[in-house]
Amino acid sequence: MPALSPASPPVRRLFGWLNDPDDPWWERPAPSRAQQRRDVLGTVAYILVALGVVLTSKSYGLVFEGEQWWRAYLAVALMALPLAVRRRFPVITLLTASALFLLLSYLSPEASVSVPFQVAYFAALYTAIAWARDRRMLWILVAVVLAEMSLWIVISVTITNAADEMSRVFEDAAGPLPPLLAYLLYTAVLNVAYFGGAVLIGRASWRTALDRVRVREQAQQIAQQADELARRAVVDERVRIARELHDVVAHHVSVIGVQAGAARRVLTVSPESSAEALRTIEETSREAVGEMRALLQVLRSEDSGDEGRHPEPGLDDLDALARTHADAGLTVDLDRVEARDGDLSRLSAPLALSAYRCIQESLTNVRTHSTARRASVTIRTGGEGASSWLEVEVVDGGRPRPGTSGSGYGLRGIAERAALHHGEVEAGPRATASGWRVRVRFPYREAAGATGERSTA
């Protein structure tokens, strides 16, 4: 993960203020299709309303002398047009709006001081702060805002017709400050409030989205912990029952052994005593069987029942696994590469299950410990004869999420599954790009009775 220089705490504090102190590199998910559609429809509606505002302002005399009548309409419409893609391309929208803001100020000084024109640029700036996925771009955005404010003040007091209008206003000045200084201070305060308000509101929106994600992840984590506690309780109870089963069997078998030895010794001397010992053996064995059946019934009752049991997953279930992660915000790209057609379909069930579990655990780690919103999964086969292999690889391009170092059990489980099949694991940061890579290679093993060209004999 990119890190700011530890020798520059003011820079770190500023970066944390612009983003979030605990998770400054978080990337907000892209807008949904419904949100993008609303942006387009909202922009169309806004342009119509803005043109109506220009029309009414002209009707009551808010016009700049010498400016052609159509320029204000065109300037307002062009200024609002980039808002149609404001959440899909927030940074591009802001840069485009910034360029239009300056250019259209020359085309129509009348439009540049109108409310619809100013609101459109405010919306572009707010959206960039709220939706920019690369938070480092905020440094550029802040620089653009400062340059925009400075240029606009210069243009207002030197080049546009507004300067001429203000010079006539200066003639009636009656305050204690020089008219030009008072105007510059007024303009500066107004622009600081304008641009600063957009930045603050945009930052609040971005942090609100981050808080929603955190709350959702915490809820999922709590649910997973609750499931784990329930599973542990079941396991602990089964261990207790297993101990009881051991004690029951050991006790009754001991009694049976003692009685059998006694019966053997008195078999010829005292048939009555032998019969009594054999009767005890019979009763004890029946009692032991009955108690074992009762305990085993308890163990079976802990299961979800036949109707709740499902076959163990395999590589054919990866598409469903990818959809599950996509619903949670992680897009998964699946790629299958077979040295020979049908290699993956001929895998033995235990090997396919282990490969599936390794991919499942790796994707869970991406969602839990990385800022990535996309991961790629590759399943490939290769080699010839006894050296044939199956390989799974999971790669993401995110950065470590602060405060989620994890316990290491996930990677340990992957390593244990690989060792079960005499495979090997490579897991760690990518060497040539940001992100994490997990690669597991197993010796290839076909299912019993599978037909195909490959042979591992």
**56 occurs within a structural domain:** yes
Q: Which residue has the tokens 């559609």?
A: 37
| Number of Cβ atoms within 10 Å of the Cβ of 197 | 13
Closest by CA to 85, choosing from 29, 139, 142, 123, is: 123
Residues 6+ positions from 38 with CB-CB distance below 8 Å: none
Any alpha helices (H) in 108-136, and if so which ranges? 109-112, 115-131
pLDDT given at position 243? 63
**Residue 184: CA atoms inside 13 Å, Cβ hemisphere, count?**
10
Work out the percent of the chain whose per-residue pLDDT is above 90. 23
Full residue range of the structural domain in which residue 212 is found = 9-219
Q: What is the side-by-side order of every strand in the sheet holding 436-443?
A: 331-337, 374-382, 389-396, 436-443, 424-429
In a domain, 451, yes or no: no
pLDDT in tens, 89-99: 998 998 899 88
pLDDT of residue 67: 84
The CATH number covering residue 384 comes to 3.30.565.10
Q: How many CB atoms lie within 10 A of CB 213?
A: 15
Q: What is the number of domains present in the chain? A: 3
Does residue 448 belong to any structural domain of this protein? no
Please indicate, yes or no, whether residues 205 and 281 belong to a single structural domain of this protein: no
Please state whether the predicted TM-score (pTM) of the whole model is above 0.75: no
In which band, very low, low, confident or very high, does the pLDDT at 86 lie, cut at 50, 70 and 90? very high
> Of 90-99, 172-181, 213-222, 373-382, which gets the smallest average pLDDT?
172-181
Do 385 and 241 lie in a common domain? no
Residue 215's Cβ-count burial label (10 Å; 0-12, 13-18, 19+) is exposed
Phi and psi, residue 182, nearest 5°: -60, -40
Residue 1 covered by a domain: no
- Residue 67 falls within a domain, yes or no? yes
Q: Is residue 205 part of a domain?
A: yes
210 in the same domain as 332: no
Residue 16: predicted pLDDT: 67
Instruction: Name residue 330's amino acid.
Output: L
Question: What is the overall mean pLDDT for the chain?
Answer: 79
Shared-domain flag, residues 152 and 244:
no
Last residue within a domain, chosen from 308, 342, 374? 308
**pLDDT bracket for residue 7 (50, 70, 90):** very low
The pLDDT value given to residue 6: 42
Q: What is the pLDDT of residue 36?
A: 92
**Residues 184, 84: one domain?**
yes
Q: Are residues 229 and 80 part of one domain?
A: no
209 vs 10, which has greater pLDDT? 209
**182 and 268 share a domain?**
no
Last residue of a domain, one of 172, 194, 219: 219
Last residue of a domain, one of 254, 275, 308: 308
Residues 393 and 404 in one domain: yes
